[in-house]
Structure 1
Amino acid sequence: MEDMMPLMTRATERTVELVRTVRQDQLGLPTPCAKFDVKDLVSHLEWVAEMFESLAGKGPRLEQGPYAGDFPERAERTLAAWSRPEAWEGTSPDMGLPMGVLAHMYLVDMVVHGWDLARATGQKYEPAPEAVSRALHFTDQMVEMGRQRGAFGPPVAVPDDAPAFDRLLGVIGRDPAWKA
């Protein structure tokens, strides 16, 4: 918990900053995540926050609801839920995964979807190097399960000597050179 909470907090705060600057006229723009436009991506982030708040309390995996426009508030509740030591104990009853694995899944979502949103809306984005390192290490270990569950797309070829963030994007199926 001690090393993950700062990474989760900063990644979430950065993504919240990006969401807050999205204008109404940008909601229909495409994103690097092919199944989402900007509004759908923000709605997905709302669901991610709500679901991981529930999971932190050993609750159920929730279904995604409609866009509500309240990601910052949901993200704040998620971080509060994960700041409790008991959130990190044991295994999620609903997901069957250790709580630390779920925390890494959340981190990957915040880091990658932050990039998706920044790219789609023309904002600058630089995730914390330690968050990228942790997300890449975790994703390398979980990529096959992620693909089987539909969380990751087919890999995008990225040079072995590319920056860690580009390699992370490629592993999960994003093209680091994507432009709107």
Structure 2
Amino acid sequence: MAHNLSGYHRALDLFEGLVAGVPRDGWDAPSPCDAWTARDVAGHVTGGQSLVRALAAGEPQPDVNGDPARFVEGDVLMSWRTARKECAASLTPDALGRLIPFGGLGELPLGDYLEAYILEPLVHAWDLARATGQPSRLDPDLVHHAFATAQVVAAPLRAKGDLAPPLPAPRGADEQTRMLAFLGRTA
């Protein structure tokens, strides 16, 4: 079965562009993620590439939430690019067809998971942009897709304490602002 991973790759490209735009002294800036710096956000998403690689290989998943900066020690951009390249190499047709657990929703092929995984790098791209003073306007097509995913996965994430409660969106807010508010962020 063929998988359309173009959205996934576009979200990763967006994130990488923001990582590349962080000034040298910007990595300690606080982020919209409670108690995380810009480096922690970058580490979390970089660790996510290790998580996807583990899923592709059927190996144990690393904890990407505890001490996420450990995934980007030293040169953050180089750490990100290395993790992304290693992850991409693991996404063989067999790996994309591998059934993986998807929370309380059962199992699904890794390729289907990655089609929805856009949410993770996209939202954290916004977090990184906000933390480091970069433009935070996201791709509207990716936002639309990610917002639909967020509505499916939010309840279990909130139950585990991995996602903030939703905030009210301003009247007449665009979809990006509504998605961010749903994810507990003030745009």
Q: Shared fold by TM > 0.5?
A: yes
Q: Counterparts of 1:93 and 1:135 in 2: how far apart (Å)?
A: 20
- 8 Å Cα contact 2:14-2:125 kept in structure 1: yes
CA change 1:9–1:159 in 2 (3 A) is: same
Number of the residue aligned with 2:146: 135
Cα distance in 1, alignment partners of residues 179 and 57 from structure 2 = 29
Query: Quick check: 1:15–1:114 contact (8 Å CA) kept in 2?
Result: yes
How far did 1:89 drift? Answer: 2.0
Question: Which stretch of the first structure deviates more once superposed, 56-65 or 165-174?
Answer: 56-65
CA apart distance, 1:160: 6.3
3-state SS of paired residue (2:3): coil
Query: Does the 8 A contact of 2:3 with 2:112 survive in 1?
Result: no
Cα distance, 1:114 vs structure 2: 0.3
Partner of 1:60: 60
Q: 1:44 to 1:132 in 2, by over 3 A?
A: same
What secondary structure sits across from 1:114 in the alignment? helix
Which of 115, 125, 143 is the matching residue for 1:114?
125
- In structure 2, the gaps of 5 or more residues are none
Aligned to 1:87: 95
Give the corresponding residue for 1:48: 48
Match in the other structure for 2:6: 6
Q: Give the TM-score taking structure 2 as reference length.
A: 0.81
CA distance in 2, matches of 1:52, 1:118: 23
* Alignment-derived partner of residue 75 in structure 1: 84
Bigger mean CA deviation after superposition, 26-35 or 84-93: 84-93
Instruction: After TM superposition, give the deviation of residue 76 of structure 1 in Å.
Output: 2.7
1:91 touches 1:97 (CA, 8 Å); kept in 2? yes
Query: Residue 9 of structure 1 aligns to which amino acid in structure 2?
Result: H
Aligned Cα RMSD in Å? 2.3
TM-score after normalising by structure 1: 0.84
The AA in structure 1 aligned to 2:32 is P
Aligned partners of 1:49 and 1:78 also within 8 Å: yes
Query: Cα distance 1:17–1:26, how it changes in 2: closer, same or farther (>3 A)?
Result: same
Distance 1:124 1:87, change over 3 A: same
Between the aligned partners of 2:141 and 2:89, the Cα distance in structure 1 is 21
Q: How many residues align?
A: 174
Output one character per residue of 1:129-153: Cα deviation in whole Å (capped at 9) or x when no partner.
2211111111112210111123311
Residues 58 and 94 of structure 1 are in contact (CA less than 8 Å); yes or no, is this contact kept in structure 2?
Answer: no
